[in-house]
A and B are shown apart, each in its own frame.
Chain A
Amino acid sequence: MKNSVSLAERHYTGNPQKNSPALGATMAYMGVDGLLALLHGSQGCSTFIRLQLSRHFKEPIPLNSTALLEETAIFGGWEHLKKGIAKAADKFKPRIIGVMSSGLTETFGDDMNSAWASLLQERPDLAATPVVLAQTPDYIGSLQEGYLRAVLALLETLASEPAPREAKTVALFPGAHFSPADVEELKEILDLFGFEPLSLPDISTSLDGHDELEPAPVVQGGISLSDIRRLPGCKAAFSFGPSMTGVGAALEKRHGVAHHQVDSLTGLEAVDAFILKLAELSEKPIPEKLLRQRSRLLDTMADYHDQLGTKRVVLALEADLLVALTGSLTEVGAIVQGALTASPLGLQAMPPGIPVAVGDLEHLEDIAAGSHLVIGNSNARQVAGPKKIPHLRAGLPVFDRVGIPQKVWVGYRGTQQFLIDVLNTMAK
């Protein structure tokens, strides 16, 4: 089998599956309690992100903007950034301010660190509010890149000091492809082994669509600042999704926390490897509940092996999710006819033998003919609809199906749910 999809070369992107890095950074920031995100760019940049994330998660997205206008194109936005941070701190009293840059400010080269340092000299009182600065130019990568950079910035800014070693805490770095319910599932698995999981970010308590008691203009739920500061003292760290390797590695390098890379948490063998690692770390037997879930998953695989086997699937997803889902599909005998990723970050972990390329949803049109299933975000309906191919929603944005934040596709239970979703979608 050839290992790449050959795509017609063109100078434009048609029906992009890419989202901007700043959008990914915003997602990461949404998993930190009391944080207010501030995008250094023009107003449209933040409005588009807010709308895109809102229609996916069905939640308000506390993201402000430095509201750059024409004069900043000449004089730069440095002063605007200072004003923006000061205003956000004074007006909204966030516990943390999470800043990210845009294509505009990176192009004129605003130095965010010096702006923050300069503001601190003018306003020493602001030192009480930590400011995280992530560089996320629009023209480098996609959602995953921005998410990664924001998580790294959070870690490096807020968890730079050593912390007392704890016997039971485990650091988790879920990738941008984890839904709120995925993160929750992951934390519960750790709980079953007697660990205290600290997830950075933790969108399971902020973007999970709960009815908040007090509506607020900052993030409600998510990992707390004090828990982020405990990360350097963790017993072990896990990064989920190939794009996230660098985060656990950074924690290991700086604070000596043993780091384990988990490329995928979907698929029997992938979950097995993770569970065995947890059993080894905890020196405990695998909990009965998980064995039961594993047994159910295997039963589903047996019951439907015929409906899944040799079914041809095309996928267009960011690399982390692509790696996870293609692994699970090939494990049950399905054939990945073609896989398209938004950007190359994380692609090195693709299972061998799968034809893969960096491409958009117009490319997906070119490779979808003859397949039994399209897996992609809601925009992929422009491919699946006219070609009358069943379409399973995955990735971001998903705006025409409900329950996305509650969807679990990780762990044994989640893998079983993924296979059920595949089967039900094809049955329609």
Chain B
Amino acid sequence: MFVTLSKLELKDNCPLEDKGAPKLCMKALPGEGAERSCAFDGARVVLMPVTDAAHLVHGPIACAGNSWDNRGAKSSGPELFRRGLTTDLVEMDIVYGGENKLTQAIIEVANKHKPKAVFVYATCVSALIGDDLEAACQKAQPHVSVPVIPVNAPGFMGDKNIGNRISGEVLFRHVIGTAEPEKTYKPAINFIGEYNIAGDLWGIQPSLDALGIHLQACISGDARFDDLRTAHRAQLNILVCSKSLTNLAKQMERKWGIPYIEGSFYGIHDTSHTLRAIARAFDDPGLMKRAEAHICEQEAKIRQIIEPYQKRLAGKRAVLFTGGVKTWSMVTTLKELGIEVLAGGTQNSTPEDFLRMKALMDPSAEIIEDTSAAGFLTLIEEKRPDLIVAGGKIKYTAHKTRTPFLDINHGRNLPYAGYQGMVTFAQAVSRTVFSPVWELMRQPFPPVGGEQA
């Protein structure tokens, strides 16, 4: 059920000391029931929030049909990214190849929807039948006035992380640095790996405004394609979703000399910490002073608001079951509410995420190895937590255990990032932990053994 970190079986190309790209560290076994996703999904997680681009999936219906418009990335303007577009390969295409259909589709999509760019995604089947994605895009390009960008991350290439990484390469090679901004700002930063789930970005923005920091590009939450092209004019990158796009941050550092730092905006501590780190990176005494004043003011304000929640929640025990940055950042956030984390499990994190999470947790806390529904149920049975914090995939299974459950992933409706997000989070946690529903669910009916008067 559990493993100690030293016993984690890592694939040989996945050494702990390499701070580089994301890794596929524990392979899923056939039939095991690990609820993970694929490289194609990983690529779309990164690129799909680009709001004014068309996202065309080259494959049979499963890849786009079962999954379009299923993530909570929000837009403040264009809605084109919500549209499901696919070549919908049918049997004859499988036999004769789908390349020409794809070229035609790109041209038609561009004509009809007037996107700022067309991202074209390969899938397992189109890759397997040997359709040349790059060639089809090139063939369509002269007929289309906006960039046509191939994204070659078919599902069988591996887990979500691999797809994240490939889309980082795509952005670096085809998008960033392809246009100059009308005006340059200093200080200007990019976020990398912030997808504006439920409007998270908009919870961070007020702090940037208060500090006078310009957000050059958010990669890729609420992004406009033209803003992404000018991302190379920022002076600092903030890697928000832990490791998924480290490769992009590194490439940008190499090519344009933009340093990067890691950060998280979940919880008071991490938000302040990240703002401080940004100010420090610019080495600007004025900015640092503004940052301290803002942090001081916000922390005092937020702590006052969440105090009643904290008091009620103190001593509650949680199990955390999530991925990426949230593995460790959520531990801190829950601790700020007085909640102890009993065990953590993660599906798409790196060994570094594990180590970080482990360091933050109680020494007796455990890392969940078996991320299947069965493993999850055994864990809950053993730990009997007061709260489960996890993604939507496990939500309905969690309900069967009659344990308060909070959705932390892309299916949620509420933004948890930034100072204001902490208040929203505290309220959401309290709402579920103290919901009378769980107790009603736990009571046997009809009442047993002498409880009837």
Contacts and interface: CB of A to CB of B under 8 A. Distances in A.
B307 interface: no
B83 to A, nearest CB: 6
B29 interface: yes
6 contacts: A15-B85, A16-B86, A45-B62, A45-B155, A66-B31, A84-B31
Contact of A87 (B30, B61, B65, B94): B30
A17 B401 CA distance: 34
B378 to A, nearest CB: 10
A215 interface: yes
B70 to A, nearest CB: 6
B433 to A, nearest CB: 19
B41 interface: yes
A98 to B, nearest CB: 13
Contacts of B90: 139-140
Interface string A30-51: 0000000010011111011111
B108 A80 contact: no
**Which 8 A-B residue pairs are closest in the complex by CB-CB distance?**
A44-B38, A215-B400, A87-B31, A84-B30, A20-B62, A84-B31, A138-B60, A12-B105
B84 interface: yes
A60 to B, nearest CB: 4
A11 B128 CA distance: 20
A103 interface: yes
Interface in B63-119: 63-70, 79, 82-91, 93-94, 101-102, 104-105, 108-109, 112
A43 B397 contact: no
B85 A83 contact: no
Sorting the interface of chain A by its residue count into under 10, 10 to 19, 20 to 34 or 35 or more gives: 35 or more
A50 B62 contact: no
Interface stretch (B156-164, B249-257, B288-296, B334-342): B156-164
A12 B86 contact: yes
A73 B395 CA distance: 33
Contacts of B411: 55
A143 to B, nearest CB: 9
A65 interface: yes
Interface string B22-43: 0000011111111111111100
Contact of B393 (A50, A64, A66): A50
B5 interface: no
Interface string A74-103: 000000110111111001100000000011
A45 B38 contact: yes
A139 B85 contact: no
Given A47-B393, A382-B79, 15 more contacts: A18-B65, A45-B38, A48-B66, A51-B392, A64-B372, A66-B30, A67-B28, A73-B128, A83-B29, A91-B372, A107-B129, A139-B89, A139-B91, A211-B399, A217-B374
Contacts of B277: none
B108 A11 contact: yes
B125 A43 contact: no
Contacts of B62: 20, 22-23, 45, 48, 102-103, 138
A13 interface: yes
Interface in A209-242: 211-212, 215-217
A428 interface: no
Interface in B1-48: 27-41
B233 to A, nearest CB: 35
B428 interface: no
Given A73-B156, A138-B60, A139-B89, A43 B396 contact: no
Contacts of A20: 60-62, 65-66
A85 B30 CA distance: 8
B86 A67 contact: no
Task: Please indicate which of the listed interface residues A44, A49, A66, A382 has the most CB atoms of chain B within 10 Å of its own CB.
Answer: A44
A60 B400 contact: yes
